[in-house]
Amino acid sequence: MAATSARAEQCAGASARALHAGRIVGYGDYTSESLRARLAEQGWLLVAGVPCWIGNTALLDLAATIGPIKSHGPYRGDLAREGESVNIIRALPEPIPDVSGKIMLSTMAVDHHMHTDESFFATPSRYVLLHCWRPDPAGGGLNTVADLADVLARLTDAERADCVRLRYSWRGVESPIVGAPPDGGPLRVRFNVREAQCLERDTAAGDALAQRFAHAAEEAAVGLALGPGDCLVLDNWRVLHGRTAFAPDSPRLLKRVGVGEPA
């Protein structure tokens, strides 16, 4: 099946179920081993029918099935969080800055470019879960995903080599865009065009590569129109994700949980 661009899918009002039936898993119809095996094979899955329960218990149960849930520390009433582990994704009248002072796009209604979650963490979450509670009734806020292999396929040989060779700072964490694990495992992506600061002498070339990679990721992206109870589960070391814009007063609401590398 040919991938359709995210923007084209949004205009067509396509549903995730119709376009990506081979990636859908029913809530509870899995084991830890089967989920991780399918994620290793496919990069991302859609778990359907995850209940929207008070306390996010169904979402947290699903996350714990995959691996250790990441904690953000004690909850102190932050409007972008629920408890220690759940992030709220919705447009707020006054968007919230993060600890570095940058406005969190998850609290806005604008286009959210393709990125790795926690790109500036020493070890980003291995898996990310995005649980839809309320979609945008106007059809905006389309979730987008792009597998690293599909992004790299759009680059030249020289650009692919530079993705591994050039060093960047992601808020102080040094890493190339694409990392090759020393154990010979799959390539890993770390990317957010807002955070990429090239550390090489030729910073202009590094900046151009980051822009080229961002453009290739947008080209490779496919869109998912999530409905209530749909939970997108993705390998954050392999799959970039983003979101199209929606109206600032939209009731769109998603909940996010990060999961670490299973022991």
Distance CA(70)–CA(263), nearest Å, equals 14
DSSP E strands in 125-249: the ranges are 127-134, 143-147, 168-170, 173-175, 178-179, 188-189, 196-198, 222-224, 231-235, 239-243
75 domain residue, yes or no:
yes
- What is the per-residue pLDDT across 157-199, written as a single tens digit (0 to 9) for each? 999 999 999 999 999 999 999 998 888 889 999 999 999 999 9
- Write out the two tokens for 171: 């808020």
Distance CA(96)–CA(116), nearest Å, equals 20
For the chain, how many structural domains are there in total?
1
Decide: 117 and 236 in contact? Cβ < 8 Å. yes
Per-residue pLDDT at 8 exceeds 70 = no
Share of the chain above pLDDT 90, in %: 84
248 domain residue, yes or no:
yes
Amino acid at 8: A
Per-residue pLDDT at 149 exceeds 70 = yes
pLDDT of residue 1: 27
Burial classification of residue 134, based on how many CB atoms lie within 10 Å of its CB (0-12 exposed, 13-18 middle, 19 or more buried): middle
- Can you tell me which residue has the tokens 């020393």? 182
45 domain residue, yes or no:
yes
Per-residue pLDDT at 2 exceeds 50 = no
28 domain residue, yes or no:
yes
Question: The domain containing residue 75 runs over which residues?
Answer: 6-259
- Can you tell me which residue has the tokens 């495992």? 185
175 domain residue, yes or no:
yes
Burial classification of residue 1, based on how many CB atoms lie within 10 Å of its CB (0-12 exposed, 13-18 middle, 19 or more buried): exposed
34 domain residue, yes or no:
yes
Per-residue pLDDT at 56 exceeds 60 = yes
- pLDDT-derived band at 13, boundaries 50, 70, 90: very low
- Can you tell me which residue has the tokens 């151009």? 208
Decide: 145 and 236 in contact? Cβ < 8 Å. no
pLDDT of residue 17: 62
Per-residue pLDDT at 77 exceeds 90 = no
The CATH number of the domain holding residue 237 is: 3.60.130.10
Put simply, whether the predicted model's pTM sits higher than 0.85 gets the answer: yes
Give DSSP secondary structure letters for 67-100.
Answer: SPBP---S----TTEETTTEEEE---SSPPB-TT
Share of the chain above pLDDT 70, in %: 93
Decide: 67 and 261 in contact? Cβ < 8 Å. yes
- What is the per-residue pLDDT across 224-249, written as a single tens digit (0 to 9) for each? 999 999 999 999 999 999 999 999 99
- pLDDT-derived band at 16, boundaries 50, 70, 90: low
Which residue pairs from 100-103 have beta carbons closer than 8 angstroms and sit at least 24 positions apart in sequence?
100/171, 102/194
Lowest mean pLDDT among 12-16, 24-28, 53-57: 12-16
Mean pLDDT of 36-58: 98
pLDDT of residue 15: 54
Per-residue pLDDT at 7 exceeds 90 = no
Amino acid at 32: S
200 domain residue, yes or no:
yes
Closest CA to 1 of 34, 46, 39, 42: 42
Per-residue pLDDT at 99 exceeds 90 = no
Per-residue pLDDT at 219 exceeds 60 = yes
1 domain residue, yes or no:
no
